[in-house]
Structure 1
Amino acid sequence: MLTCIGIDDEEYNNEYLKHCCSNIPFVKLIATFTEPFAARALLSSGEIDLVFLDFNLIGITAAEFIKELPLTVKVIIVSSEMEGRIRDYDMDIITIVSKPYPCERLLEACKLAAKMQFKKRSKK
């Protein structure tokens, strides 16, 4: 089970993320945020495995925000930004899901995250 949060400044994107995640049995989306700083306490709690992160954040760049995350937290970028521009930042992410996306695309990204999580746990 992947315990996740979503961060997107547009609430309708968070609502769509909730809808998609509700149909993925191995994903537990516990919260969404429109401001990245509001998620800091939860992220530092050790409960979160994965963040669905919009590339265009309020008050901080996605690249800066990712650097502040605990090493155990993985990131899937969900953005309408051009993929090439996102990759230029050389961030430590699992994958990029381009908006608008079908729920099936999010499922594929979550499968990648789960595979990485399983490998990490099996190495311990």
Structure 2
Amino acid sequence: MKILNCIGIDDEEDCNEYLRECCQKIPFINLLGTFTDPYEALPLIRSGEIDLIFLDLHLRKIDAPVFITEIPEDIQVVIISAELEYKIMDYNMKLTAILPKPYLCERLLEVCRIASNCKPK
């Protein structure tokens, strides 16, 4: 399985902490950082090092449907949200997966496997 370089963006630090804990248990995930401010993540996103972003749907400064336009198309995005999946689909974003909050680390592992299989060779 290919190693995926990832970041997490959630304006709630406890959610970022949980993501870090879960990612430590997944051997093919390399979490390069977590951010509460999506704009602080942009330099890393644009660096070409990122394969996957875990992105909260509703951030204080900007919502994911707007922010996702700043993300290069070759980067996979997993939306993490307490909002119902069908409502997220209404935003018509290109997503690898939707991970409902609260989630178990096992469910994150499943989503990461999907992303790893989607990664270009």
Q: TM-score range by the shorter chain?
A: over 0.9
The count of residues paired between Structure 1 and Structure 2 equals 119
Aligned equivalent of 1:2: 4
Aligned equivalent of 1:113: 115
Q: CA deviation at 1:58?
A: 2.1
Structure 2 residues without counterparts, runs of 5 or longer: none
The C-alpha deviation readout for 1:22-45, integer Å capped at 9, x for no partner, is 000000001000011110000000
TM-score (norm 1): 0.93
- How far apart are the structure 2 equivalents of 1:53 and 1:79? 8
Letter in 2 for 1:51: I
DSSP 3-state at the match of 2:113:
helix
Structure 1 residues without counterparts, runs of 5 or longer: none
Q: Percent of aligned pairs with the same residue? A: 52
Aligned equivalent of 2:67: 65
Kept in 2: contact 1:54–1:77 (CA 8 A): yes
The C-alpha deviation readout for 1:80-110, integer Å capped at 9, x for no partner, is 1111111100100011000110100000000
TM-score (norm 2): 0.95
Aligned Cα RMSD in Å? Answer: 0.7
